[in-house]
Amino acid sequence: MTLFYFIRHGKTEINAEGRFNGGTVDSPLVPEGIEATKKIAQYLKDVSFDLALSSPQLRAQTTAKIILKEHDRGPKLTIVEDLREMRLGDWDGEKISEITKQYPEDIRDYRTRPDLFDSKKFHSESYAEVIRRSTQVIKEITKQYPEGNILVVSHGILLMALLNTLKGMSLAEIRQGGIVDNSSLTIMASEGSKVTFHTWGETF
């Protein structure tokens, strides 16, 4: 059985400013995000990780390094491009409130009906593309580490799309459960084609 420990990065400056925090923008963790991540690190300090994966984005790498700091003999951090957050094109870095005013119908689809979201209109990745690349990472790691403990540090939209897809939700449904909080932990066991969630979006 492969045990995945999925963590969403700590709260960042862009999060705090109410701007879209997608795959082409980045900013440091704010003090609140650092402290919340340290609490997860303490919670996980006795877990022996066989592999530690992170999105290439600074906020995810910083979060992962805080957690691995509690593991003197832990694995080195492996950067995985396909764990990058959904690229939001023209929206990345923009104020969420302003985009909501300008494109109310598109925002509605983005937030509630991913299957209807017109990503090309805004030069964004589609949800389907994010799901395709992220699920492939999990499939490959499950094959490579059939008995391993795997740390995965990534982002809100990617984790929402990935985890709800693995749970069996359709593209139209994946937004229904909402996005896990910053500095939250979701634990998933994978064995063959079966997945079981032990923890979902837990904060400390």
Main-chain phi, psi angles of 178, to 5 degrees: 80, 180
Contact yes or no for 58/84 (Cβ under 8 A)? no
- The β-bridge relationship of strands 185-191 and 194-202 is antiparallel
Main-chain phi, psi angles of 2, to 5 degrees: -95, 130
Q: What is the model's pLDDT at position 177?
A: 80
Q: What is the model's pLDDT at position 178?
A: 87
Rounded (5°) CA angle 181-184-165 = 75
Rounded CA separation 124/90 (Å)? 7
Q: What is the model's pLDDT at position 73?
A: 79
Q: What is the model's pLDDT at position 47?
A: 95
Q: What is the model's pLDDT at position 91?
A: 98
Residue 185: left (phi > 0), alpha (psi -120 to 50), or beta? beta
Q: By CB neighbour count within 10 A (0-12 exposed, 13-18 middle, 19+ buried), where does 176 fall?
A: exposed
Contact yes or no for 61/154 (Cβ under 8 A)? no
Angle between helices 127-144 and 156-166 (to 10 degrees): 70
- The pLDDT profile of the chain, 204 residues, written as one tens digit per residue, is 999 999 999 999 999 999 999 999 999 999 999 999 999 999 999 999 999 999 999 999 999 999 999 887 789 999 999 999 999 999 999 999 999 999 999 999 999 999 999 999 999 999 999 999 999 999 999 999 999 999 999 999 999 999 999 999 999 999 998 899 999 999 999 998 899 999 999 999
User: What would the pLDDT profile of 32-67 be if each residue is shown by its tens digit?
Assistant: 999 999 999 999 999 999 999 999 999 999 999 999
- 8 three-state secondary structure: strand
Q: What is the model's pLDDT at position 193?
A: 82
- 185 three-state secondary structure: strand
Rounded CA separation 14/160 (Å)? 19
